[in-house]
Structure 1
Amino acid sequence: MTRKSGIKGFILGAALTAVLTTSFSAYAAPIQKSVSAALSDVKIMLNGQQTTLTDSSGNTVEPINYNGTIYLPIRALSKALGVTAAYDSTNSTVKLTSGTTATADDDSTGADINTDENVPAKPEGDLAPAKPDGDQAPAKPDGTDSGYGTDAKVEGTGKYTQSGDTVTKSDQTIAATEADQSAVKVSDSGTLTLTDSTITKTGDTSSEDNSNFYGLNAAVLSESGSTVTVKNTSITTDADGSNATFSTGEGSVLNISDSTIQTSQDSSRGLDATMTGTVNATNVKITTAGEHAAAIATDRGEGTVNVTGGTMNTSGEGSPGIYSTGKITVSGATIKATGSEAVVIEGRNSATVKNTSLTGAGTRGVMIYQSYSGDAEDGTGTFTMTGGSLNATAGPIFYSTNTDAVINLTNADVTGASGTLLQAQADKWGTTGSNGAIVTLNANNQELSGNVIGDSLSTITLKLATGSTWSGALNSDQKLKSATLKLDATSSWNVTANSYVTALTDSDTTLANINDNGHTIYYDADNSANSWLNGKTVTLQDGGKLTPIS
């Protein structure tokens, strides 16, 4: 996950990085013709900084516009991106290759490539998109970039390293100070038990992707089927890309209990599991201060994190309390994110919380989405909450975009300052025109308050059961593609504004469990789910009406 780059009119960083991470060849056609092209006023941004492209003599070279396609000077561009450009004169081939130290003029023939010419970024002449659906991938809600182009895996070092074997240590002081160096690194099915110790980590990562996916530069790293158990220990990191505890790879487990974790810099999470690794935490106090530094996280490869008790506080922008691209379960904890959502779930993954206090003070309470970053498989994201509390101090309590989502609530104290319970809509992720959300909210023995809203690309279904109550309006602006409400006979709806439902089912056919407060509920008479209403207008108990949409 690299930081976002941009180009005026295009986005350069993630897009071209995606194209150039492997060898790429552009074949010169044996055709000569005269063309007319115009210089194009395109500003090029690389890693957030405006870049001026120059030829081998240091002269400024400009992009050109030919037949609606922007062409970039390939030598200058490859130099800026750290990519080798070479010309094979025998085969009339321009070769672009990343990860090599050769110069742009070097190739197997010794010929000099005229790379000051403007060559399109891919054979058909269009700038390559950052993701398969053709839309530029925006930043993820944890603040990281969601473009493709993962760095090649970097094997870091360790201050304390263990390959295989079974070791028990206590009263240790372990300080890692070098870049890409973990304080503790256990591999090859090793087993380490570490108690009553102090672990510190400084020295930045050389690759945030490697830190996020494989635990490079982590304070404590369990990999390749190892088991690390940490008890009554203090872990502190003050470096970019320095996760406190990290488990990665099949069979890898990291257990931590009765300990404290503090991270200060960006991309430095408290608990993190990837590539089917597992982290188990009991009574751990976690504080993170950097950006995109969730207290509890999984990343690429669907890791598992189980948390019992403890307190977790994050303050950085884009640093949710929980960020799940795997399976995260939390019980009896207190989690507060002052600069982000309480919980974010991406793709076909889940977060389950029980008797836990959640606070999201960023733009939303809980977010379920799909970024197409490659970190999460497509499918239904699921948030399940039993008991405890959820408070969204800004924005909707629940928000979903570009995915299918299921929200299960049972006897939880759910509150929000915005007046919006649930919002489903297209956002900056996915393909324009098909990137809404399909959301089902299941409430059991649950009190809910707030409006339910969305856009024409999104579908929302509310199911109230087992004595649940909801006070709010459904689709009051009539924008949702579909809005369905299902009530059992023990549950009730307190209507706070005129509402529009695609489908309404109610086990209480007298509709006595709908407190209309004089408002009108409009329903789709053509929807088969409403056939029990026979297209009639029904006067409700407070003088409002249930009537077909005209």
Structure 2
Amino acid sequence: MNKNVKRTVATMMIAGMTVSGAAGVYAGTNMEKISAYLNHSIGFKINGSTYIPKDENGNKLAPITYHDTTYLPVRALSNALNTPIRYDSKTNTIYIGTSTTDQYVLTNYTAAQLEEIKKAFAGFEGFETAYAPQIMINGDVFQKAAATSDGVNLLFKNMTVNVSPRDYSYEYDGTNVTLSNGAKAKWYNIDGTDMLTVKVEDRYVTVSSPSKALSKAQAEKVAVTVTNVGAVQSDMAAVSYTAAQLDEMKKAFAGFDGFESAYAPKVTVKGDALQKVAATSDGVNLLFKNMTVNVSPRDYSFEYDGTNVTLSNGAKAKWYNVDGKDMLTVKVDDRYVTVSSPNKSLTKAQAEKVAVSVAKVGTAQADLATVTYTAAQTKAIKDEFAKFDGFTAAYAPTKMAKDDAFQKVASGDSVIFWFKHMNVQISPRDYSYGYDSTAVTLPNGVKAKWFAPSEVPMLTFQLDDRYVTISSADQSLTKAQIEQIATGVAKLK
């Protein structure tokens, strides 16, 4: 998209379709008045069907013709094409499709909120199991759960999720769609509010956005994550592996060429404990007191009938049964993780929470040390970030190798931290773009990628509104150590 098109699209998003006046420039802005034409002769067909673009009030929109170029009403088309669009007023940027400002976050209900949701469902005989979405758009917040005459409303700041035994879409004309998990759903409109209804197991889920903050694509993504919320989070506990256990895991994985990276769950049910790690012919079993976690390059669920589910992080998984034992398999990076509970002490909801926590365990924490900045160093770091308009918040690494030491901070088109054994670069730009890369999941669940513009491997990941790149020029740090260090980059206090 060229600069003229970007400017025209931005103007349409902010000011609608009004274009008038002679040439001139508004003081203090980059908006330029033009003389153009509303072109009512152009028609639209999307996937063979006639389409009439309309604004949010139902008024017809017409394309604009300017200097032999036709500009389309992008907001209307984004809804028709089911593609999210978002305008970031801070950076004066339009995002079509996914973007840094159009990310989804986990709902992360508190124990009190989960109890509130469960109580709302508890009043319905045969319908007591609580369901809720596992993601929301960035900036949204759960407000309350309210039981209705025949269902439950989960009220967020920017959306309402209704869970009911009844299909409210039945009596309305609408458009049938297929969601990303293969489920059939229906869009329809009630009193100007778009509604999406999909059947989830024995109930119907309806997602709407009374404030119109969600696009249709975003609502569809939320809908596929609605699932049984299961046990409250207080039933789960973080797993703390000892250095010896981490070494045992790494040795078990090390025997597999191209599959050496060790993975393990980060949470389990309270009271559980890792007992041993055992390499198999094509994977590794992590044996706990109450569960077994198998990590393999093979998908063992393939040959079994089962039930497809969407986990809380949006990953597709499958429940199936082998010799009376329930098994859950999900793909994590380049491998398949299977969670089971031989003694049947874990519920399915608990097993699903374990599954979403499986990630690369990296190096033993004993290999790392905490970075302590002096008052002068902290001031120098903040001063370097202050040079960037709109990027002034200071971030810094808090972990390093035990024998490393912070030396200095400098800036150019980014801020660079120089250590004895590593460089940490924090920038508004993604320097990995255009290079071949390998995607990885960091121990804290953040997606990252390795690339090598020269012979030095570099790790890049997004943190809030910036990109962090970590490398070790003398290559004294392992990739596992760098990935652990990456989890410690945070806003400087």
Q: Name the structure where strand makes up a greater proportion of residues.
A: 1
**TM-score, L = length of structure 2:** 0.26
* Higher RCO (C-alpha 8 Å, min separation 6): 2
**TM-score, L = length of structure 1:** 0.24
Q: Name the structure where helix makes up a greater proportion of residues.
A: 2
Structure having the higher Rg: 1
